[in-house]
Amino acid sequence: MLLDSIYSILPDLNKAFFETLYMVAISLGVSLIVGLPLGILLFVTDKGLLFENALIKQTAGILVNLIRSVPFIILLVALLPLTQLITGTTIGPTAASVSLSVAAIPFFARLVETSLREIDKGVIEAAVAVGATPWMIIREVLLPEAKPGIVQAITVTAISLLGYSAMAGIVGGGGIGDFAIRFGYYRYDNTIMITTVILLIVIVQLMQVIGDGVARAVNKR
């Protein structure tokens, strides 16, 4: 009876699983591409650093805080026109990826900034004293030194995106969270509910284990 019930939802669950993966992958990719440079920018424009610039630092900082302070559920709705503009639709996982990316970029950028901040200032200074260009310092000192921290940041961002992606169901985004609410919660079907929750727990554990493993491997300290 129990197995039957799980078996019957498998095709739908499978679809939902890949929708989630798809949303997380796209928005994680976008947040890496945009968030990493943004995080570096937040760091290097700080006082006493390579490109000290109070104006850029303040502007970027305020923008990041602004997006981060809007609850995701509101961001999701507020960004519908932008989503329409970019993807031509407001329904489905691709559409949901837009708001997910917008939310993840500043989140990831702050995490990158934090991991850069942990680098001993002396190491940066030693590179300046050697006569290296700022670009070389970013590529060969900042990024390698912050690598373990950045890997951790990617893990945290991916796990958060998994959580946020569940909310995307509200606007018809699809994915595991959406599936759990529609089939499990609304239909009072505990089997489905528990199955999906277990699946999410397994995914989160897996991401954490992989992330920790990679972070440990790249850490030479």
Using CB under 8 A as the binding rule, whether residue 127 contacts other proteins is answered as yes
Judged by CB under 8 A, the stretch of 104-112, 118-126, 187-195, 198-206 that binds other proteins is 118-126
Sole binder of other proteins in the list 4, 7, 81, 120 (CB under 8 A): 120
Judged by CB under 8 A, the stretch of 3-11, 93-101, 122-130, 151-159 that binds other proteins is 122-130
Sole binder of other proteins in the list 85, 130, 206, 210 (CB under 8 A): 130
Using CB under 8 A as the binding rule, whether residue 131 contacts other proteins is answered as yes
Sole binder of other proteins in the list 29, 144, 163, 213 (CB under 8 A): 144
Binding residues with other proteins: total (CB under 8 A): 21
DSSP string for the chain: -HHHHHHHHHHHHHHHHHHHHHHHHHHHHHHHHHHHHHHHHHHHTSTTSTT--HHHHHHHHHHHHHHHHS-HHHHHHHTHHHHHHHHS-SSSHHHHHHHHHHHHHHHHHHHHHHHHHTS-HHHHHHHHHHT--HHHHIIIIIHHHHHHHHHHHHHHHHHHHHHHHHHGGGGT--SHHHHIIIIIITTT-HHHHHHHHHHHHHHHHHHHHHHHHHHHHH---
Residue among 139 and 187 whose Cβ is closer to other proteins: 139
Using CB under 8 A as the binding rule, whether residue 140 contacts other proteins is answered as yes
Binding residues for other proteins (CB under 8 A):
120, 122-123, 125-133, 136, 140-141, 144-145, 147, 218, 220-221
